[in-house]
Structure 1
Amino acid sequence: MVICIRNQAIVFALHGALLYATFAKGLPPSIRVDAKLPSLEEFVRDLFFSVLSREALFYSSHRILHLRPLYRRFHKQHHKFTAPVAFSSQYAHPVEHISANVLPILLPPLLLKSHILTMWVFVAFQLIETSTVHSGYDFFGGAAKKHDRHHERFDVYFGGIGLLDYVLGTDEREDRRRGKKD
């Protein structure tokens, strides 16, 4: 619990530093905050690209964290949970928390200069998804089961939504074709 609170404090401090730096330089905020709601087309577009970008950023950073020297130093802490619970989604070394948890969620809406409403929906979806897959309860088509398999095997299911696991063969379909069980 203390590690999760520390990670939330890090996020809060980074957010405050970003806001202060933007304000001090007289720059407009990276996220659009105005009373005019985004059009449905803009909302769907930004949400779609944010989800795809998060998948690419999370998959790649998570896969890199499984390289032997980085795994031992940074990611092993998260894998102490072999039967994950929702809090374990943020039970991570600060380097991992920033590189794999925060930046993949924060960067897409910032780079797109999304409306604040779009960012809120995206962040809420990501928080629900990551808490759910770490909870052991399978609400999203087997996502929690796949993430549990990741915590058991370490060499499968590195992505959030599974798209890159499918494309890059880090799901278990190759194992099924070869008849490999565990």
Structure 2
Amino acid sequence: MLEPDPHFAEFVAERGDALLRYGYVLAGNPHDAADLVQEALLKLRAAWPRLRRKENAESYARTTMARLHIAAWRLRRRERLVWDLPELEHHDQVPDGDEQRMWQAVAGLPRKQRAVLVLRYYEQLADAEIAAVLGISSGTVRSQAARALDKLRTAIPTEPMPRGNLR
């Protein structure tokens, strides 16, 4: 358990309201803003003895709040909450021949290439986000995607588009 620190208590008393306003601007509602402030202050309190420049403690707290907000936003954007339960059961369609071949070809890709394609086209992540998730560089993301798409193009031949009048 951490010993009480009067300097930390002074910081919270002086800058707590400003942090709450910053949290409100980030989150858009007072409840999430209070949660952001509370979590950031907990992290700041744990790091307080190691903090070299205590005059920049508010900057540390604001950065922590922004990162916490982004992390929560990333989790929530993948969820889709609805009030009404579905009335009918949902059964996925069995893929037809072309789709079946596509999924088999995707399943046959190396793991990293498959992960890059799924994150890019299914999860709609940008190259930088994919790089962060997989722990690789953005250049590696692009090269893995290009290699995977080349393999898919050779595995699944497509018919050329007809030339001429498209009316």
TM-score by length of 1: 0.22
- Which of 1 and 2 has greater Rg? 2
TM-score by length of 2: 0.24
The answer to which structure, 1 or 2, has the higher relative contact order (CA under 8 A, 6+ apart) is 1
